[in-house]
Chain A
Amino acid sequence: MNREQLFTIANNWFKSQGWKPFPFQTQTWTAFLQGKNGLLNAPTGSGKTYALWLPIILNYIKENPNYKTKHNSGLKAIWITPLRSLSVEIKQAAERVLTDLDIPMTVGIRSGDTSATERAKQKDKMPDLLITTPESLQLLLATKGYANTFKNCSSIVIDEWHELLGTKRGVQIELALSRLKKIAENLRIWGISATIGNLQQAQEVLLGVESEAYQNSVLIKAVIHKKIKVVSIIPEKMDTYPWRGHMGLHLIDEVAKIIKASKTTLIFTNVRSACEIWYQRLLEKYPEFAGEMAMHHGSIDRETRLWVENAIRNEELKVVVCTSSLDLGVDFAPVESIIQVGGPKGVARFMQRAGRSGHQPGKESVIYFLATHAIELIEASALKKAVENSVIEDRIPYLNSWDVLVQYLNTLAVSDGFYPNEIFKQIQGTFSYQTITTENWNWILNFITQGSQSLHAYDEFKKVEIDENGCYKINSRMIAMHHRMQIGTIVGDAVMNVKYVSGGYIGTIEEWFISKLKPGDTFIFAGKKLELFKIRNMQVLVKKASPKKESKIASWMGGRLALSSQMSELLRKELYRANTDNLSAELKVLQPLFQRQRKESIVPSSDEFLIETFKTREGFHAIFYPFEGRFVHEALASLLAFRISLLQSITFSLAYNDYGFELLSDQEINIEAVLDNNLFSTEYVHHDLQKSLNSTEMARRKFRDIAVISGLVFTGFPGKMVKTKHLQSGSQLLFEVFRDFEPDNLLLHQAYRETFEHQLEEGRLILALERIANQKIIWKQCLKPTPFSFPIITDRLREKLSSETLAERIQKMTASYMK
Chain B
Amino acid sequence: MKIQIKDETFILHPSGAVFWESKKIIIISDVHLGKVTHFRKYGIAIPQNAISENFRKITDVLDYFEPEKIIFLGDLFHSSKNAEWDLFEKWLSNHNQETYLITGNHDIIDEKHYKSISVIVIEMLEIEGFFFTHHPTEKDNLFNFSGHIHPGIILRGLGLQSLKLRCFFQKPNQMILPAFGEFTGKFILKPKSDHHIFAIAGNEVIMINKNN
Q: A residues bordering B, Cβ < 8 Å? A: 447, 451-453, 456, 458-463, 474, 476, 478-479, 482, 618-620, 651-653, 664-667, 711-712, 714, 726-727, 729-730, 732-734, 737-738, 740-742, 745, 796, 798, 800, 805-807, 809-819
Contacts and interface: CB of A to CB of B under 8 A. Distances in A.
Interface stretch (B62-70, B137-145, B150-158): B150-158
Interface in B5-49: 37-49
Dominant secondary structure at the B interface = mixed
Given A733-B185, A815-B197, A816-B211, A478 B42 contact: yes
Given A815-B197, A817-B191, A818-B192, A809 B157 contact: yes
Contacts of A711: 43-44
B80 to A, nearest CB: 9
A807 B159 contact: no
B78 interface: yes
Contacts of B159: 618-620, 651-653, 664-667
A479 B204 CA distance: 42
A478 B37 CA distance: 17
Given A460-B41, A727-B44, A810-B201, A737 B161 contact: no
A667 B157 CA distance: 12
Contacts of B37: 459-460
B172 interface: no
B78 to A, nearest CB: 7
A205 B86 CA distance: 51
B209 A451 contact: no
Contacts of A459: 37, 40, 48, 83
18 contacts: A451-B46, A458-B84, A458-B87, A479-B43, A619-B158, A620-B159, A653-B159, A666-B157, A666-B158, A667-B159, A714-B44, A727-B44, A741-B49, A741-B50, A741-B53, A813-B155, A813-B157, A814-B156
A458 B210 contact: no
A300 to B, nearest CB: 32
A742 B47 contact: yes
Given A460-B37, A618-B159, A619-B159, A815 B210 contact: yes
A491 to B, nearest CB: 16
Given A619-B158, A666-B159, A819-B193, A807 B206 contact: yes
A736 to B, nearest CB: 8
Interface in B80-139: 82-84, 86-87
A461 B40 contact: yes
Contacts of B155: 810, 813-815
Given A458-B83, A733-B185, A810-B206, A726 B38 contact: yes
Given A460-B40, A462-B41, A730-B185, A813 B161 contact: yes
Given A809-B161, A815-B210, A726 B78 contact: yes
Interface in B144-196: 153-163, 165, 182-185, 190-193, 195
Given A741-B53, A812-B158, 5 more contacts: A447-B45, A463-B45, A651-B159, A807-B201, A817-B211
Given A461-B40, A482-B42, A741-B53, A817 B156 contact: no
A461 B158 CA distance: 47
Contacts, number: 170
Nearest to A714: B44
B82 A810 contact: no
B55 to A, nearest CB: 13
B180 to A, nearest CB: 15
Nearest to A712: B44
B168 to A, nearest CB: 13
Contacts of B201: 806-807, 810
B105 to A, nearest CB: 11
Given A737-B183, A741-B53, A818 B48 contact: no
B212 interface: yes
Q: Find the residue from B50, B157, B184, B193 having the highest chain A CB count within 10 A.
A: B157
Contacts of A815: 153-156, 191, 197, 208-211
B40 A814 contact: no
Given A666-B157, A729-B185, A479 B42 contact: yes
A810 B199 contact: yes
Nearest to A730: B185
A733 B82 CA distance: 22
Q: Find the residue from B43, B79, B86, B157 having the highest chain A CB count within 10 A.
A: B43
Given A806-B201, A817-B192, A726 B44 contact: no
Contacts of B38: 726-727
Nearest to A816: B211
Contact of B160 (A458, A653, A806): A653
B42 A653 contact: no
Contacts of B190: 816-818
A817 B206 contact: no
A732 B188 CA distance: 15
A807 B40 contact: no
Nearest to A617: B158
A461 B41 contact: yes
A98 B170 CA distance: 74
Contact of A458 (B49, B86, B192): B86
B47 A737 contact: yes
Contacts of A729: 39, 183, 185
B183 A817 contact: no
B20 to A, nearest CB: 26
B29 to A, nearest CB: 18
Contact of B209 (A712, A800, A814): A814
Contacts of B195: 817
Contacts of A818: 190-193
B42 A462 contact: yes
B196 to A, nearest CB: 10
B204 A807 contact: yes
B41 A810 contact: no
Contact of B161 (A447, A726, A800, A817): A800
A620 B160 CA distance: 10
Nearest to B204: A807
Contacts of B165: 806, 810
Contacts of B87: 458
Contacts of B86: 458
